[in-house]
Amino acid sequence: MSTTYTLDTATSRATPTPVPMKRMTVPAIVRRKGGEPLVMLTAYTARTAQLLDPHCDMLLVGDSLAQVIYGLPSTVPVTLEMMAAHGAAVVRGSYHALVVIDMPFGSYEASPEQAFASAARLLKETGAAAVKLEGGEAMAPTVRFLVERGIPVMGHVGLTPQAVNVLGGYGARGRTPEEAAKIVADARAVAEAGAFAIVIEGVVEPIAVTITQAVACPTIGIGASAQCDGQVLVVDDMLGMFERTARFVKRYDDLGGRIAAAAEAYAGEVKARAFPGSEQLYPARD
């Protein structure tokens, strides 16, 4: 029995409460290779994590919070401080899913030593179990350096958003034989370096299938293939919070539209002085 934070949804306050810790572990994720598909969604807040946790094997505190939370044009401006703050919130709001945190741009590329310092900070400050970093063969030595020092690493190949300025946009990758071969080689290198899982993003489907068959660790697809060992989506995209979404996103709700409709109804009642009504007011004592 360990102590974690559970959320009182009636008050939105976190209070320390002893609960059984039954989180997914890295070895448990690895054992799912070729088995029941892994379910992964992004989460950035404690309440969202609480809602998603029972349904997910992993929660990714993605640097996609740049656009989703902060309204930034890309993930490049994200800082370690941002990732640490949101990562800690997601850990507090969950008890079952393995929590993985993105390493932000500029926090790991310079050297394996820089990557270790950044990753250690994120795990210490958040309680998360693993980090994710982008890149293939060039980052394989860094992946190995981290894993050998006790930090589980999830890889990320194909469309790598942090490299948007080099790639020139967010289009699908691997349309030429040369680029396809490079992506497969990147995945092999990261897997051989010790990554416990690899996200494959925005590639033509045959590449994702080839990688999934070629590496020993689970693959997590996003715009890749249903044949991957699992799938991940940005939760706000999946919920329909934005008008425009990528081709590979399936919208499971129109939460954005429903929020707008609720706000419109609220505004109408305020302007009509219909809210607050008697049910929302405190009566004077007799």
Neighbours of 110 (CB within 10 A): 11
Phi first, then psi: what are they for 252, rounded to 5°? -90, -5
Please list the alpha-helical segments (H only) found in the chain.
26-30, 46-52, 65-68, 80-92, 112-126, 140-148, 164-167, 177-192, 205-214, 235-238, 255-271
d(CA 136, CA 13): 41
Annotated binding site for Mg(2+): 63, 102, 134
Strands 58-61, 98-102: pairing is parallel
Give long-range contacts, CB 8 A cutoff, 24+ apart: 116-123.
116/145, 116/146, 116/149, 116/151, 118/80, 119/146, 119/151, 119/153, 120/151, 121/80, 121/84, 122/80, 122/83, 122/84, 122/87, 123/151
Sign for the CA dihedral angle at 165, 200, 211, 49 comes to: positive
CA distance 39 to 29: 10
CA-to-CA distance for 127 and 92, rounded, in angstroms? 9
Which of 81, 148, 201, 205 is an active site residue?
A: 201
Nearest one of 255, 251, 219 to 237, comparing CA atoms = 251
Annotated binding-site ranges for 3-methyl-2-oxobutanoate:
63-64, 102, 132
Amino acid present at 268:
G
Cis, bond preceding 283 (omega within 30 deg of 0): no
Name the binding residues: 63-64, 102, 132, 134
Residue 81 designated active-site:
no
Q: What's the CA gap between 164 and 40, in Å, rounded? A: 23
- Name the residues annotated as catalytic: 201
